[in-house]
Amino acid sequence: MNKVECVTKTSRYDIIIENGLFDDAPEYIKRVARGNKIAIVTDTNVAPLYGENLNKRFNNYGFESHLFCFKAGEASKNINTVSEIYDFLADIGLTRTDLIIALGGGVVGDMAGFAAATFLRGVDLIQIPTTLLSQVDSSVGGKTGFDHKKGKNLIGAFYQPKLVLIDTKLLETLSSDFYYDGMAEVIKYALIKDKSLFDRLLKSDDNLEEIIASCVKIKRDVVSEDEFDTGIRGILNFGHTFGHAAEKLENYQGISHGKAVAAGMVMATKIGEYLNITKLGTLEKVKAIIEKYNLPISFNHNINDIYKALINDKKNLSGKINLVLIEDIGKAFLYPIEIEKLKDLMISAYEN
């Protein structure tokens, strides 16, 4: 078992990582629950696998537990689904001393987290991530929200959970596509902060518990330093500026988040090498590890389209955008650039 403590200016909570942990979830949750009522928010993929079982076990455990399920997929990550969650919470009479559990991948975690942050001005939240992507990234750090037609995750709130329970056994039901999708975020952590993790991934991904723990510790350290994403936390967006643009171009349905981030990391590394900021030869290493995990190294869109889609990104600050670039494997930094200059840079990097 790996236990990681996350301490921020507003909270302190444990992130527990262990194979088989899900079986003991009621025991762990009983220790932090203040009330008797639990609302489990999940999706149509997870509900039949884990949601219905967990709901019954809570009811057998003395809790009054209720299950809300919405259609799986990024297309559901919108204000309409959030409104349906609010209706559900109101219908069951959830109070501020009760508890919301986000059981699922990143979409579930983001929306259940936002609902917890805003319903009754704040209800306790526990994250039980069921995908590799959500286990290594989105369940930790307190970012919640949903998509808007103008951009991905454009509406949101910072809201830390009371507990995160990560069970690697839950990944056994993941399709290979979803698994590799999560590996994009694992690769991201290696590229921005941990060369030893990068070297380990080149050889094998067998010890998932340790790999996940490495990623979680990196995110914990960054979030503890910059909870509200005003500085160093920006490095966690390596590959995301371009990746989010591609997702937007495909209406959040044509390309998965992990695949978009993978191609985005290649684009960022290519720009870094063009600027002579990234060590020469790094691009080939990045491409190699991304292809090893069956992820794309390019987008199905031209540079102009990617640029137009990223202009409205929430990371666009007063006409500038903070690109995340790497000096070398394991060394990331923020590179501010004016929006109007970015297009020429992107074109120049790809013509070289």
CATH at residue 210:
1.20.1090.10
Same domain, 253 and 188: yes
Structure tokens at 282: 């790094």
Residue 77 backbone dihedrals phi, psi, to 5 degrees? -85, 75
Question: In this predicted model, what pLDDT tens digit does every residue of 275-319 receive, in sequence order?
Answer: 999 999 999 999 999 999 999 999 999 999 999 998 876 566 678
- Of 173, 189, 217, the last residue of a domain is 173
Question: In this predicted model, what pLDDT tens digit does every residue of 110-119 receive, in sequence order?
Answer: 999 999 999 9
Where in the sequence is the domain holding 291, given as residue range(s)? 176-351
Residue 143 vs residues 18, 88, 185, 230, 268: alpha-carbon distances, Å? 23, 22, 16, 13, 23
Structural domains in the chain (count): 2
Q: Please indicate, yes or no, whether the overall pTM of this predicted structure exceeds 0.85.
A: yes
Continuous segment of H or E residues that includes residue 42: strand 37-43
Residue 262: which of 201, 181, 327 has the closest Cα? 181
Same domain, 273 and 294: yes
Same domain, 164 and 192: no
CB atoms within 10 A of CB 160: 23
Same domain, 6 and 142: yes
Same domain, 319 and 196: yes
pLDDT of residue 296: 97
pLDDT band, residue 149 (cuts 50/70/90) = confident
Question: In this predicted model, what pLDDT tens digit does every residue of 338-352 receive, in sequence order?
Answer: 988 999 999 999 877
Same domain, 155 and 278: no
Same domain, 163 and 196: no
